Structure 1
Amino acid sequence: MVLEVSLAKRCCCFSLRTGSLIIGSIYLVLGLLTTATAIGFVSIGYHDSWALLLVSLAMVGFNISLIAGVVRSSYVAVMFWVLASLVAIEANLIFVVRDAIQLSVPVLVVCIRLSVALLQAFTTAVVRSFSVTMPS
């Protein structure tokens, strides 16, 4: 029995390649902003922000890997980003469940985290679909 996976054919009105480049660029900018914010927090004495700094630096690296993989048609580099994105989605969903269980967390925060996880899942599906169509 063969399991067929449904793949995206386009990303909005762009090709999967262009959509993957746009996704990588947007995530790279967000990663750089998060890194700058974390550096600011660490520099003013919030030592708990070291973890945020390390995670944001890793995500910047993964996003550079995605952009380079798309430009160079490197299946390994693109799939490296897909795997990192799946880990990020899983972590985000764990936070959604944790926040939903805690009564002190506003429902809006839970909804925002869930929306981010769904957006990450969509962008991961687009990039994964592109990786399947890459030339060997």
Structure 2
Amino acid sequence: MESEDLDVEYDVFVSSCPSRPTLEHVTGRWGMLALGALADGPLRFNALARRVEGVSQKMLAQALQALERDGLVHRDVQTTNKLHVEYSLTPVGSEIAGKALELIGLLQARMPDILAAQARADAKTA
């Protein structure tokens, strides 16, 4: 990265901002859940897939590739007795995962309010 790149301001609200694709990778369903799951420590692919219920192997692999490209996830190929891959968070990924978990926690805590709002909205349209 050139030193002039460090002086650039990024604005995710501007359509051409390079932060937008990373925002999509982090806030997409599988990206956010993968980051959250990895916050507890490194996981092998299948363990991560079991932790993030409902994700297909293809979608999880795509999410992990995008997060790895963004520098948020580290992919470690281990060739001990048997080849296996382990995923972990980078320092930046760990920081972002912490914020994602805060949002997830807030969402979970406010679910009674959200469900009540949904019921009111559904009653109006019924």
**Quick check: which one's helix share is greater?**
1
Per the normalisation by structure 1, the TM-score is 0.26
Structure with the higher strand share, 1 or 2: 2
Q: Computing the radius of gyration over CA atoms, which structure comes out larger, 1 or 2?
A: 2
TM-score, length-scaled by structure 2: 0.27
